[in-house]
Amino acid sequence: MIVRLAIRSLTTRPLRSAVLAAGFGLGIGVMVELLGVGQVILEQAHSPALQGGGTVVVGGAFGPLDSARFLLSQLSSSKRLRGQVVAASPNRRATVFLIKPGLAIAVSMRGGVPSLEKAVGDSEVSGRAEWRDAATDAAWTNALPGDVLRAMDRFHPVPDLWGNSSDSNQQSSATSNQQPATSPQQPAPSPKGWAEWLYFNGRSTDGRLRFYLSFIAGAVHASGARPITARLQLERDGRSTNYLAAAEVDDRELLARAPDLDVGDTHVRLEGTRYTITLALRAEASATPLTGLLTLDAAPGRSLPPAAIHGAGGWVSGYVVPVLAGTFQGVLRIGGDTIRVENASGYHDHNWGFWEGVHWQWGQVANGDLSIVYGRVFPPANVADPRRIPGFLGLLGADGPLAFSTDVAITEEDDRGLPRAIHIQARGDETDLTLHFTVAEQVRTSTFLQMGGTYEVRGRAASRDISFTARGSAETFRPTPDSSVSYSPRGLSFAGGSTPASPRRARRR
């Protein structure tokens, strides 16, 4: 019936129908042309020629790259990309305002490294002899691995969310994209919940010796001092002992020198790509002294660059892995007992942010030229919806990152309330990996579980098949019914149970 009515309408007034059809067709044609022109304009706006030259423009998922110097160093040293990348140049854009009474003029600014801009063919600076590198540009044109490592492992100023920042925080926030002060509708996180720390772990080749070492700096006191704690969990043949040292450090000094740290006679020093750790601790239970010297040599290119999650009220949680795979050497002395650490597998990461109410899952494994780290953070519900914060998995090879996924499922298989296995599934562009972690040993604190065991890794990523079995570690938040996490003047403390077996974390992973 509808078709018949349409035909009769067209045949009854053929001239009108023809005019309407022509007009409709013309309108469609004009719309298609405009959409085509708009697409061309959009593509040209994103053209590398308008972004400072080159062939490809690389940016962050949500804005600027947080680790451009690390990326540049990886591009220049990667064997896979050496024949494809001719030149690379970083740049940063910002808007400044020229202000005089009654008038404000916005000016778009772009900064870069002159020699690198010319190398990628930036037409704005090509041929300008006066546009040449400053001495400080060498940090970009000839970035040494140790300098990149130190930049990744720096400490972060506490965000000024309460309107009473120190001069050091004000100075640092000008270059670190800190969140603005919060409104009454978005109360700021408690300043007592801020902490930042370095974490190391090592395992001997036979698995009989394992250690977990953390250096935790708490919130800033009114005096400008911060509590800092060094804590070692040492496991020998299944027996675990905790050792501790505590002190205070000036906040400005901490921000200026880290990752070089001092906790009494316990020290961390980074020279090149080697961490040297001098230990002078005492057992928590018996005050038995432990002294020693450990070195961690970082494997080139095996780092995961910094990333941070931001939430309401200025809440932030950050994570970086400067050493995803490395080698420990050294010696520990406990009374008359000497423990030699020879060619132990090593790992080092770094966390910062507000930790009150945060839960986590985390794990890592390395085999041959491959390293894998995965995890998920569960922030407090009042700062972000935990269900919308994805997990992550990073795969690194000898030349640096190979694959990354944020479509990650982490499920635990329990046995009487404790995990006996963990399953990890990661999918993404050219990534389909499955990890099965079988728990062999675990240490429980009042708030979380640290586990050692064996990973079975199967799948495909970065255009290569992956299949191996190797020892690794994992951690999950699993509080006891009467446990709670509190923030004391001495840093992080755990109430309702034992003190943390690892100094490591009120942590997320």
Q: Is residue 6 part of a domain?
A: no
Which residue reads 């018949």 in tokens? 4
pLDDT 10s per residue in the chain (509 long)? Answer: 777 777 777 677 777 777 777 887 888 888 888 777 777 666 655 555 555 555 677 766 656 677 777 878 777 777 777 677 778 888 888 899 999 898 999 998 888 888 888 888 887 888 788 888 888 888 888 888 899 899 999 999 988 776 655 444 433 333 334 444 444 556 777 778 899 999 999 989 888 898 999 999 999 998 999 999 999 989 888 788 889 999 999 999 999 999 999 999 999 999 999 999 999 999 988 889 999 999 999 988 788 888 888 888 889 999 999 998 899 999 999 988 999 999 999 999 999 999 888 888 999 998 888 899 999 988 888 888 888 888 899 998 877 778 889 899 999 888 777 788 999 999 988 899 999 999 988 776 656 678 888 999 999 998 889 999 998 889 887 655 544 443 333 234 333 333 333 434 433 33
Q: Is residue 88 part of a domain?
A: no
How far apart CA 52 and CA 48 sit, in angstroms, is: 6
How far apart CA 97 and CA 110 sit, in angstroms, is: 14
With contact defined as beta carbons under 8 Å apart, do 393 and 373 qualify? yes
How far apart CA 315 and CA 193 sit, in angstroms, is: 10
pLDDT at residue 446, rounded to an integer = 55
What does the DSSP assignment read for 333-401?
Answer: EETTEEEEEEEEEEEEEEEEEE-TT-EEEEEEEEETTEEEEEEEEE--TTTS-GGGS--EEEEEETTEE
Q: Is residue 162 part of a domain?
A: no
With contact defined as beta carbons under 8 Å apart, do 226 and 352 qualify? no
Instruction: Give the CATH number for residue 468.
Output: 2.40.370.10
pLDDT at residue 88, rounded to an integer = 84
pLDDT at residue 507, rounded to an integer = 37
How far apart CA 314 and CA 362 sit, in angstroms, is: 24
**Residue 198: how many other CB atoms lie within 10 Å:** 26
Q: Which has the closest alpha carbon to 232: 268, 196, 270? A: 268
pLDDT at residue 255, rounded to an integer = 96
Task: Please give the residue range of the domain that contains residue 488.
Answer: 149-157+192-495
Q: Which has the closest alpha carbon to 210: 440, 506, 390, 468? A: 440
Which sign does the torsion angle of CA 120, 122, 126, 130 carry?
Answer: negative
With contact defined as beta carbons under 8 Å apart, do 90 and 64 qualify? no
Q: Is residue 129 part of a domain?
A: no
Tokens of 176: 């670190």
Q: Is residue 184 part of a domain?
A: no
pLDDT at residue 401, rounded to an integer = 79
pTM of the model: 0.74
Tokens of 382: 């009042």
Tokens of 301: 């290119």
pLDDT at residue 493, rounded to an integer = 39
For residue 501, give Cα distances in angstroms to 270, 303, 346, 437. Answer: 26, 26, 19, 21
pLDDT at residue 500, rounded to an integer = 35
Question: What beta strand segments (E) does 101-238 contain?
Answer: 103-112, 194-203, 209-217, 225-236
Task: Please tell me the total count of domains within the chain.
Answer: 1
How many alpha carbons lie under 13 Å from residue 344 in its C-beta half-sphere? 24
With contact defined as beta carbons under 8 Å apart, do 394 and 374 qualify? yes
Q: Is residue 413 part of a domain?
A: yes
Say if residue 101 is preceded by a cis peptide, omega within 30 of 0.
no
Q: Is residue 420 part of a domain?
A: yes
Q: Which has the closest alpha carbon to 459: 467, 468, 469, 451? A: 467
**Beta-strand pair 103-112/316-334:** unpaired
How far apart CA 144 and CA 127 sit, in angstroms, is: 29
How far apart CA 310 and CA 303 sit, in angstroms, is: 22
Phi-psi region of 357 (alpha: psi -120 to 50; beta: other; left: phi over 0): left
How far apart CA 356 and CA 189 sit, in angstroms, is: 8
Tokens of 182: 């919060």
**Residue 21: how many other CB atoms lie within 10 Å:** 11
Q: Is residue 71 part of a domain?
A: no
For the chain, count helices (H), then strands (E).
8, 24
Q: Which amino acid is at 67?
A: S
